[in-house]
C-alpha cells in the first residue's frame, strides 16, 4: 500500500470556506487495498495594529477494499482578530463507494458543516446516488455524478430549512506528465421543489512539481448561490497559491 501525507504550508482556509465540499480532491489514488491518509495543521500569529490568530487543521482517512471505498474527511478553520471571530468554519464528511461495474459506482454520504462567512450555523446532508466513469485512460479521467440528498440547514439568524436537492457534478483529472496535474470539479445543485433555488460551484487545482518532494499548487474556487441567505452575496470566489510537501513510503 502506498501512503501519502500532504502538508499544505500556505493553505489555511480553502476547504473551510467552500459551501460545497469537493470530495474529488480527497480521493487518494492507490494501487492496492488498505489504508491511506492525509493530515495537515497550520497556525499563525500576527501583531501590528491588530492581533490576528489563524488556525487550520484537516484530517483524511481512507480505506479501500476490492470493491468498496470508505472515506472520512474533517476540516476546521478559525481566524481571530482581537478576540473577534472573522472566520469560523468546519466540515465533516463520510462517504462510502461500492463498485457495481467498471463504469458505475454507487455512493452514499453524510456531511455536517458550519460556515460563518455564508451565515450557516449548521448544514447537514444525507445523500445517495451513482458515479459514472467516462474514461479508462489513467492520465485523463472524467466522471459524472448524480445524487439525491436531504438538506437540513440552521442559519445564524436561527431560521431553519429542510429540503431535497438534486446534486450533479462533472469531474476531470488530467495528468499528462509526472510533474503536472489538473483537477477540476463543477457542481450543480437545484432544489427539487423549486429549480430556481440552485447552487453552482467550480473548484479547480493546478499542481506543478518542482522537485520529487515539493510542488507548487494554485487553487481557484467559485461559488454561486441563486438564493443565498440575506446579507450574503450570490457570488463568492477564492484564489490561493502555495507550496505542498509530499512524501510516501
Confidence of residue 10 (pLDDT cuts 50, 70, 90): very low
Range of the domain at 80: 4-248
Contact predicate 181/174, CB 8 Å? yes
Q: Please enumerate in sequence order all residues whose Cβ is within 8 A of that of 49, keeping only pairs 6 or more positions apart, or say none.
A: none
Q: How far apart are CA 242 and CA 128, in angstroms?
A: 34
Confidence of residue 48 (pLDDT cuts 50, 70, 90): confident
CATH number, position 40: 2.40.160.40
Contact predicate 125/109, CB 8 Å? yes
What is the structure's pLDDT at 46?
78
Closest CA to 149 of 182, 196, 187, 206: 187
3-class secondary structure per residue, the chain: CCCEEEEECCCCCHHHHCCCCCHHHHCCCCCCCEEEEEEEEEEEEEECCCEEEEEEEEEEEEEECCCEEEEEEEEEEEEEECCEEEEEEEEEEEEEEEECCCCEEEEEEEEEEEECCCCEEEEEEEEEEEEEECCCCCCEEEEEEEEEEEEEEEECCCCEEEEEEEEEEEEEEEEEECCEEEEEEEEEEEECCCCCCEEEEEEEEEEEECCCCEEEEEEEEEEEECCCCCCCCCEEEEEEEEEEEEEEC
Confidence of residue 214 (pLDDT cuts 50, 70, 90): confident
Q: What is the dihedral of CA 222, 174, 15, 114, to 10 degrees?
A: 80
What is the structure's pLDDT at 107?
97
**Taking 60 as the threshold, does the pLDDT of residue 225 lie above it?**
yes
**Taking 70 as the threshold, does the pLDDT of residue 5 lie above it?**
no
Confidence of residue 31 (pLDDT cuts 50, 70, 90): low
Contact predicate 219/13, CB 8 Å? no
What is the structure's pLDDT at 127?
97
Name the phi and psi angles at 45, rounded to 5: -135, 125
What is the structure's pLDDT at 182?
92
Confidence of residue 18 (pLDDT cuts 50, 70, 90): low
Model confidence, pTM: 0.82
**Taking 60 as the threshold, does the pLDDT of residue 160 lie above it?**
yes
Report the domain count for the chain: 1
Q: How far apart are CA 27 and CA 128, in angstroms?
A: 17
Amino acid at each position: 500500500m502506498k501512503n501519502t501525507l500532504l502538508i499544505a504550508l500556505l493553505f489555511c482556509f480553502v476547504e473551510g470556506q467552500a459551501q460545497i465540499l469537493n470530495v474529488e480532491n480527497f480521493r487518494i489514488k492507490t494501487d492496492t487495498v488498505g489504508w491511506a491518509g492525509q493530515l495537515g495543521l497550520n497556525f499563525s500569529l500576527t501583531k501590528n495594529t491588530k492581533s490576528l490568530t489563524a488556525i487550520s487543521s484537516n484530517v483524511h482517512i481512507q480505506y479501500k477494499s476490492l470493491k468498496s471505498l470508505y472515506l472520512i474527511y474533517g476540516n476546521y478553520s478559525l481566524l481571530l482578530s482581537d478576540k473577534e471571530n472573522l472566520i469560523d468554519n468546519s466540515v465533516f464528511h463520510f462517504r462510502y463507494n461500492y463498485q457495481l461495474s467498471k463504469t458505475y459506482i454507487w455512493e452514499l454520504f453524510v456531511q455536517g458543516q458550519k460556515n460563518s462567512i455564508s451565515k450557516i450555523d449548521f448544514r447537514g446532508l444525507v445523500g445517495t446516488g451513482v458515479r459514472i466513469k467516462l474514461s479508462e485512460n489513467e492520465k485523463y479521467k472524467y466522471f459524472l455524478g448524480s445524487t439525491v440528498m436531504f438538506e437540513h440547514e440552521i442559519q445564524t439568524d436561527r431560521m431553519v430549512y429542510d429540503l431535497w436537492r438534486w446534486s450533479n457534478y462533472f469531474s476531470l483529472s488530467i495528468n499528462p506528465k509526472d510533474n503536472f496535474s489538473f483537477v477540476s470539479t463543477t457542481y450543480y445543485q437545484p432544489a427539487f421543489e423549486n429549480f430556481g433555488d440552485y447552487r453552482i460551484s467550480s473548484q479547480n487545482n493546478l499542481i506543478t512539481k518542482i522537485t520529487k518532494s515539493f510542488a507548487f499548487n494554485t487553487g481557484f474556487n467559485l461559488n454561486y448561490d441563486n438564493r443565498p441567505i440575506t446579507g450574503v452575496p450570490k457570488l463568492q470566489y477564492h484564489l490561493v497559491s502555495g507550496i505542498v510537501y509530499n512524501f510516501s513510503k
